[in-house]
């Protein structure tokens, strides 16, 4: 992507939108963005408007709420962070074998981890400014990397996050034509001490508080270099293989 213009380093305040902004990592990201001086709109399943990926109209209402806030404040949309995701939910658990594959569970994982973010792309990416730097960041997972998969298992989560990565990469190509200084990336936050990862944290695994993970992710977002749009990066800014 060498033809991508150098992103403008605009440090002025803007609007930051965090979807999944009431969850552990999402709330920490929202707080971190507030501390940076941005106006923050944190939305989720229990906010007003509510975000429900099973109802595309709710995603459109969220986008309208963002547009209304942009009009009210006169600020540009500097950050769009999608921190939604599901690994386990009741009877839905990571599969240890193909024998555990279940159609309903797969549909749920793909809805939350891939289809929902795709709808966010449709309704929210057009709100990014055309002539100044902005970042759309989608929280993915290293286990969504096909090249890094050496353990197997976790079929649905791996595949749905791999689908998200492809969606991000594809959206970045289209976004570059519309907003040449905008960046669209997938980010791996590492293992964070939240309800999503708690049942699977292993002894010796580096588990960080949401506040620490958020600081690391925001540091990556703020220092993304030219040519990084469409990429997949971990919380240290290291590129993750597809």
Q: Which of 129, 127, 124 is nearest to 8 (CA)?
A: 129
Question: Is the confidence at residue 179, as pLDDT, over 70?
Answer: yes
pLDDT tens figures, 33-75: 999 999 999 999 999 999 999 999 999 999 999 999 999 999 9
Segment 135-158 mean pLDDT? 96
pLDDT tens figures, 3-23: 444 444 555 789 999 999 998
Residue 185 in contact with residue 238, Cβ under 8 Å? no
CA atoms within 13 A on the CB side of 208: 15
Residue 153 in contact with residue 203, Cβ under 8 Å? no
> Three-class SS of residue 80?
strand
pLDDT tens figures, 79-106: 999 999 999 888 889 999 999 999 999 9
The residue with tokens 């400014």 is 129
Residue-by-residue DSSP string for 117-183: HHHHHHHHGGGS-SSS-EEEEEE--GGG-STT--S---HHHHHHHHHHHHHHHHHHHHHHHH-TTEE
Question: Is the confidence at residue 227, as pLDDT, over 50?
Answer: yes
* pLDDT over 90, % of the chain: 83
pTM of structure: 0.90
d(CA 14, CA 133): 11
């Amino acid at each position: 992507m060498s033809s991508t213009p150098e992103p403008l380093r605009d440090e002025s305040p803007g609007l930051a939108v965090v979807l999944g902004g009431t969850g552990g990592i999402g709330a920490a990201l929202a707080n971190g963005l507030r501390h940076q001086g941005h106006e923050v709109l944190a939305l989720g399943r229990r906010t007003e408007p509510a975000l429900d990926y099973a109802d595309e109209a709710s995603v459109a209402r969220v986008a309208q709420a963002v547009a209304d806030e942009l009009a009210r404040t006169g600020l540009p949309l500097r950050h769009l962070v999608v921190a939604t995701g599901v690994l386990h939910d009741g009877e839905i658990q990571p599969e240890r074998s193909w024998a555990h594959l279940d159609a309903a569970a797969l549909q749920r994982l793909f809805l939350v981890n891939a289809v929902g973010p795709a709808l966010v792309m449709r309704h929210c990416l057009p709100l990014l400014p055309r002539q100044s730097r902005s970042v759309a960041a989608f929280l993915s997972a290293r286990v969504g990397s096909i090249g890094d998969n050496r353990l197997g298992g976790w079929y649905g989560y791996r595949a749905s996050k791999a689908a998200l990565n492809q969606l991000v990469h594809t959206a970045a190509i289209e976004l570059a034509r519309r907003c040449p200084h905008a960046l669209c990336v997938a980010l791996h936050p590492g293992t964070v001490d939240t309800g999503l990862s708690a049942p699977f944290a292993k002894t010796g695994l580096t588990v960080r508080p949401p506040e620490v993970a958020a600081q690391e992710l925001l540091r990556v977002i703020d220092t993304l270099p030219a040519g990084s749009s469409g990429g997949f990066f971990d919380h240290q800014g290291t590129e993750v293989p597809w």
